[in-house]
Amino acid sequence: MLLKLTCLIPLFPLIGSIINGFFGLKIGKKAVGFIACGSMTLSFLTSVLVYVGYLMLPEGQHVYEQVVWTWFGASDFNVDFGFQVDPLTLVMIFVVTGIGLIIHVYAVGYMQEEFSYYRFFAYFNLFVSAMLLLVMGNNFLLMFIGWEGVGLCSYFLIGYYFEKKSACDAGTKAFIVNRVGDFAFLLAVMYIFNIFGTIDFTEVMHAAPEKLIYAGEAVTIITMLLFVGATGKSAQIPLYTWLPDAMEGPTPVSALIHAATMVTAGVYMLVRCSVLFNLSPMTMTVVAFIGGGTAIMAATIGMTQFDIKRVLAYSTVSQIGYMFMACGVGAYTAAIFHLVTHAFFKACLFLGSGSVIHGIHGEQDMRKMGGLKKHMPITYWTFLISALTIAGIPPLAGFFSKDEVLYHSLMDGNIIFWGMGISAALLTAFYMFRLVFMTFHGESRVDPSVHPHESPKMMTMPLVVLAGLATVGGMLGLPFLHGWHILHNWLEPVLHFDLANALQHSEHMLHEAGRHAPSWAHLLEPKEHNGWIEFALMVFSTVVAITGVVGAYIFYIKRPDLPEKFTQGQWGLDMVQNKYYVDELYDDVFVKPTVEGSNLLWKECDAKAIDGAVNGAAKTIGWFSRQAQTLQSGFVRNYALFIVVGFISLLLAMF
Amino acid sequence: MFLTLITFLPLIGALFLVFMPKESVAAIKQTALAVAVADFLLSIFLWTNFDNTSHKMQFELNVPWIEAWGINFHVGLDGISLLLYVMTTFLTMICVIASWDVKIHVREYMIAMLTLSTGMLGVFIALDLFMFYVFWEFQLIPMYIIIGVWGGPRRVYASIKFFLFTAVGSLLMLVAILWIYLHIQETTGVATADILYITEHLSAPLGTQKWLWMAFFLAFAIKVPMFPFHTWLPDAHVEAPTAGSVILAGVLLKMGTYGFLRFNLPFFPQASYEFVPMIAWLSIIGIIYGALVSMVQVDLKKLVAYSSVSHLGFVMLGIFALNPYGIQGALIQNINHGISTGALFLLVGIIYDRRHTRLISEFGGLAKIMPKYAICFMIVALSSIGLPGMNGFVGEFLILLGVFQVNGLWAACATSGVILAACYILWMFQRVMFLEVKNPKNMNLKDMNVREMFTVVPLIILIFWIGLYPKPFMDTFDASVTHLVSKVNPDNFRPKQEHHDNDHNDKQNEKHGEHARLITPTEMASLNHTLQMPALIKE
């Protein structure tokens, strides 16, 4: 059985990480790179075998579960250390191991001059292992190991240059902001156990329609908590602030962790729990709004940034907003589709920016670039392809996935969501080409002492591969059967949700509790797939994308003086450029009061109030003792007097 | 007999040390280590011979001691005490290794250490109230001496504070013990202080139960320590030598939580139930308060000490969830805290030995100079904040799960401690380990040596072992906890006629949702079915 190999997929990178971590310094850079990439290759090949094994499963069986051991438990609560393979997991495994492998190869070239090369690859491999646990775990807590594990590796890798204060701060910030999300996630898991008596994905999703009331309080609270958890990991409003700062890490880290894989964990989780989310229309609306809002907000910030990696970081936040919006309107397939294509083109963009930074010796400010096209042609062309993809120019991958999200946000959601999506698309096309033009075209503003050069093969080959994937990745979403595309049919078993059945159960449960169910009939009306609308939307969004690109061309190539004119003295720009002062706001509202309050607690409450009370008690006793001391005067006649008084009062008391 | 032997072996070793010449420091240290190692290995033997399926006392020995008063020398281990017992011998061994560099009065130090070990072991095996009390007070003395003689600059203040806090607390416990002794004699006609007998036969009206409960509570709450009785702990920790801190955090605090499980819960189940909200809120305050105060500490040891207040808050909360999840979580968290915080104190001790300061501001950039040390510190720090896959998570999650069954709000408040823990640990770690090396004194620090590795690495192994496969540990107390929970189950003593009132309360709960009401998980699940309201429906 090929499926028995499942548990090896996360194990290989883990072993690689351990070897590199402990012996990396001794075995030399070549060996470290070899082990890191080798373990990824093994992991990828195993994934292929598992995929083959999965295809050979008997008809009707969609999930393969492998329990390695029982992790922990108490009474009737038991958590398995178990993996599951189902269509969704397979998609994620391929994204993680495939793109992970490509980025590992790139990193071997990119990190060549680093002293603690081995440390980087130990973390990097460990990250992949944790990410695989996250997507392969068969229950909420095993997912949580991966969930926290990727956060931890991200913390290490953001703070990789740990002598830089900004890097350390960014790492700590990322971890703590993520923990806020984890807090909600944990509560959700507890609530789920409370209701279902299990935290196994398959069992929970199976029982959900029978145990939860549609739009009931329980499911709304659970899904809201899960969603808060997702916003932490996936950098959505209000917990997105850590991601732009995370760009302090080396560029391959940004590509793998903060663009292609880890930040999409929230989307994965939402899709994994799609059954629960389907039961709570209120949460779905919130998800869609937050997603759409994040998409726009991050895009506006992205337009004003000058650091090449920060532009890409905001672009990531914005694109993940798209995925959340898709989830929010129930278009989970579209979300996963966009997740996959985004992984291709965003990894390519980040690696391309890394190649640029590498080629001009560490400069990240776009104002000091320009005209790099002729110096680094491979980087330029791959970067251009990816930029076209993310802008949504047909027939590249991003066009299809983005279009599907937009279509569903209009048809399954409403025009507001679509409006948010399309305006974010316009902004995306604009800021991406602002980036392309500022970096590669126009006059060179590079420091004359620096001679830009193309990166070595080790780095450009991954770019070419990723650009290729970004070009053809849209195939996954081409309509083939019954108006639905490959990915949709593939994911169908995971996303299967019988609303009518769930509503029936809910009505029954409400009835038992002595309540009337509202009319849910309108929810069950079948939706039609309107090919014409889809086509019209496609045309429209293409026009929008081209408008964005042309706009950027006018602003940054034709009339480079325009941006100055437009922005001079605008308070709005100032606000956007400073990221709406959200960081400052959080600092003032959360961080500073906590630290000051804690100081107060320590110095006033602990030292003065509690210890003061204790010392006060001791002093009082001391005072009484000193008073009593005076009784013991040493005069015999006083003692005699006490005896007499005592004796008389005793007699009086007795009679 | 075997159990008694293991318990008194360190004391015998200490007596032996008394007769060794003061000058032969090496021989003294080796002897002490040999005794500690032997004791640990023997206690492992207890573990392997322990019958996991029974909640009854094992390795029992019951011989008359003061026959006139019916006081027996009665010892035994059950699932609740076994792991604490083994951890005590284990940490004693680690501490002897960690104290290798003690400069003054080596012989006396080792004598105190070994005597302390016997005292602590005695507390966990005593099955007679008077015997328990004797051991309880007895172990104070060597600890007092260790802090007072080998401690830091303010050692006298700290040791007296430590002694007075604990002694005052236990005085009331003595009164309660005497009352119980007399009461049992009155009601059953048997003059005995046997814990098992009392557990079976003690029946007091609720009012009296509450007073007795409070008397025990005070003694144990100070020991744990619970907010607001915790102020002795930071002082004691800061002034104690490294090994003293490890023992203090690893074992002495656990006596408090052990006391709750051995006395408060089984003796006074109804009173315990009545006091659940109070304990829960005190624990929650402790969790958050400890974490917040820990965050702003400038002294590493104080930071760890306050984090103990936070961690022990979790343990107390778990115990008073009164369900198997919570209590099992609390028991494993007891062990976890001993391991993680013990390791943290060892690690702080390691740089203290090199720099003779513990101020966070004195350090920075150590990761570059002492990489091995940094890795160990990171692992231990992460286990302390409950990263899944490491030991802390298993305990914390079970505790929170147990609390959630009782009250969602409590669980939410307690869970916020998870965020704060990350804040104080990571911030500290950044300031000590990361950034540039600014202080020239830190330039030439030596990385951990082999002996130091020997003290920390076993703890790290345990961190991952419990984190990934805690079954061997959790199995030991499964039966005992099930038995205990069956006794303290609120249903046992919830009066039948109050059922109507309870229903009424349920309806109130529906509205507010934050009152304590203990129900079983299945009940809770069915409640969840019935209480769901489609209030949030979007029309």
- A445-476: pLDDT as tens digits: 888 888 888 888 888 899 999 999 888 887 77
Q: What is the mean pLDDT of residues B126-146?
A: 91
pLDDT value at B407 more than 90: no
- Which chain A residues are Cβ-neighbours of B427 within 8 angstroms? 172
- Higher-pLDDT residue of A300 and A523 is A300
Q: Is residue B95 part of a domain?
A: no
- Integer distance in angstroms from the first to the last C-alpha of chain B? 74
As for the ipTM of the complex, it is 0.89
Alpha helix positions (H), B224-299: 232-239, 242-247, 253-259, 265-267, 269-295
What totals of helices (H) and strands (E) does chain B contain, helices first? 24, 2
Residue B226 is encoded by which pair of tokens? 């619970």
| Whether A179 contacts chain B with CB within 8 A | yes
For A44-68, how does the pLDDT look when each residue is reduced to its tens digit (9 = 90+)? 999 999 999 998 888 888 888 889 8
| Whether A381 contacts chain B with CB within 8 A | no
SS3 string, B12-73, reads HHHHHHHCCCCCCHHHHHHHHHHHHHHHHHHHHHHHHCCCCCCCCCEEEEEEEEEHHHCEEE
| Whether B318 contacts chain A with CB within 8 A | no
Q: What is the mean pLDDT of residues A96-107?
A: 92
Give the bridge partners for B118, in sequence order: none
Which of B416, B435, B436 is closest, CB to CB, to A183?
Answer: B416
pTM: 0.90
pLDDT value at A483 more than 90: no
Q: Is residue B180 part of a domain?
A: no
Looking at residue B116, its pLDDT comes to 94
| Whether A144 contacts chain B with CB within 8 A | yes
The model's confidence at residue B512, banded by pLDDT at 50, 70 and 90, is very low
pLDDT value at B495 more than 80: no
The model's confidence at residue B292, banded by pLDDT at 50, 70 and 90, is very high
At B458, the amino acid letter reads P
Alpha helix positions (H), A214-280: 217-233, 242-245, 251-255, 265-272, 274-278
Looking at residue B492, its pLDDT comes to 66
Q: Are A141 and A202 in contact (CB under 8 A)?
A: no
The model's confidence at residue B503, banded by pLDDT at 50, 70 and 90, is very low
Contact A74 B388 (CB under 8 A): no
- Please state, in angstroms and as integers, the Cα–Cα distance from residue A263 to each residue in A267, A641, B121, following that order: 8, 87, 50
| Whether B415 contacts chain A with CB within 8 A | yes
Looking at residue B530, its pLDDT comes to 52
Q: Is residue B311 part of a domain?
A: yes
Looking at residue A577, its pLDDT comes to 76
Q: What is the mean pLDDT of residues B46-67?
A: 88
Which of A73, A281, A597 is closest, CB to CB, to B538?
Answer: A281
Q: Which residues of B202-234 are buried (b: 16+ CB within 10 A; e: fewer)?
A: bebeeeebbebbbbbbbbbbbbbbbbbbbbbbb
pLDDT value at B532 more than 60: no
For A323-373, how does the pLDDT look when each residue is reduced to its tens digit (9 = 90+)? 999 999 988 988 999 999 999 999 999 999 999 988 888 888 888 887 888
pLDDT value at A484 more than 80: no
| Whether B474 contacts chain A with CB within 8 A | yes
Which of B165, B323, B423 is closest, CB to CB, to A176?
Answer: B423
Q: Is residue B225 part of a domain?
A: no
Scanning the structure block, which residue is given the tokens 């030995």?
A: B353
CA distance B113 to B92: 8
Q: How many domains does chain B have?
A: 1
pLDDT value at B526 more than 80: no
- The Cα of A416 is separated from the nearest Cα of chain B by a number of Å equal to 17
CA distance B316 to B221: 9
Which of A165, A187, A197 is closest, CB to CB, to B525?
Answer: A197
Q: Is residue B457 part of a domain?
A: yes
Residue B302 domain boundaries: 272-539
Q: Are B437 and B365 in contact (CB under 8 A)?
A: yes
pLDDT value at B518 more than 70: no
B529: helix, strand or coil: helix
- Which chain B residues are Cβ-neighbours of A228 within 8 angstroms? none
| Whether B293 contacts chain A with CB within 8 A | yes
Contact A163 B365 (CB under 8 A): yes
Q: What is the mean pLDDT of residues A311-327?
A: 93
- The Cα of A283 is separated from the nearest Cα of chain B by a number of Å equal to 10
Contact B533 A518 (CB under 8 A): no
Most confident of A67-76, A184-193, B530-539: A184-193
Q: Is residue B401 part of a domain?
A: yes
Q: Is residue B215 part of a domain?
A: no
pLDDT value at A211 more than 60: yes
Looking at residue A364, its pLDDT comes to 85
| Whether A172 contacts chain B with CB within 8 A | yes
User: Alpha-carbon Rg of chain B, whole angstroms?
Assistant: 23
pLDDT value at A480 more than 60: no
Looking at residue B525, its pLDDT comes to 53
The model's confidence at residue B535, banded by pLDDT at 50, 70 and 90, is very low
Alpha helix positions (H), B370-470: 371-384, 391-406, 408-433, 450-468
Q: Give which of A115, A194, A586 to mutate to test B binding, by max B Cβ within 10 Å.
A: A194
Helix or strand (DSSP H, E) at A479:
strand A479-481
The model's confidence at residue A222, banded by pLDDT at 50, 70 and 90, is very high
The model's confidence at residue A164, banded by pLDDT at 50, 70 and 90, is confident
The model's confidence at residue B511, banded by pLDDT at 50, 70 and 90, is very low
pLDDT value at B360 more than 80: yes
The model's confidence at residue B188, banded by pLDDT at 50, 70 and 90, is confident
Looking at residue B529, its pLDDT comes to 53
Q: Residue A523 region, left (φ>0) first, then alpha (ψ -120 to 50), else beta?
A: alpha
Q: Is residue B261 part of a domain?
A: no
Q: Which residues of A558-595 are buried (b: 16+ CB within 10 A; e: fewer)?
A: eeeeebeeeeeeeeeeeebbebeeebeebeeeeeeeee
CA distance A456 to A438: 23
Scanning the structure block, which residue is given the tokens 């004693």?
A: B92
- Which chain A residues are Cβ-neighbours of B471 within 8 angstroms? 70, 72
For A238-252, how does the pLDDT look when each residue is reduced to its tens digit (9 = 90+)? 888 898 888 888 889
Rounded to 5°, the CA angle A324-A326-A330 comes to 115
**What mean pLDDT, rounded, does chain A reach?**
87
Max alpha carbon distance in chain B (Å)?
88
Q: Which residue of B has its CA nearest to A612?
A: B231
Q: Omega before B64 cis (within 30°)?
A: no
Q: What is the mean pLDDT of residues A150-177?
A: 90
Which of A75, A176, A282 is closest, CB to CB, to B419?
Answer: A176
Residues of chain B numbered 510-539 and touching chain A (CB < 8 Å): 521-522, 524-525, 528-539
pLDDT value at A207 more than 70: yes
Q: What is the mean pLDDT of residues B36-55?
A: 91
Closest to A267 (Cα-Cα) out of A227, A223, A315, A220: A227
The model's confidence at residue A596, banded by pLDDT at 50, 70 and 90, is confident
The model's confidence at residue A289, banded by pLDDT at 50, 70 and 90, is very high
Looking at residue B500, its pLDDT comes to 44
The model's confidence at residue B517, banded by pLDDT at 50, 70 and 90, is very low
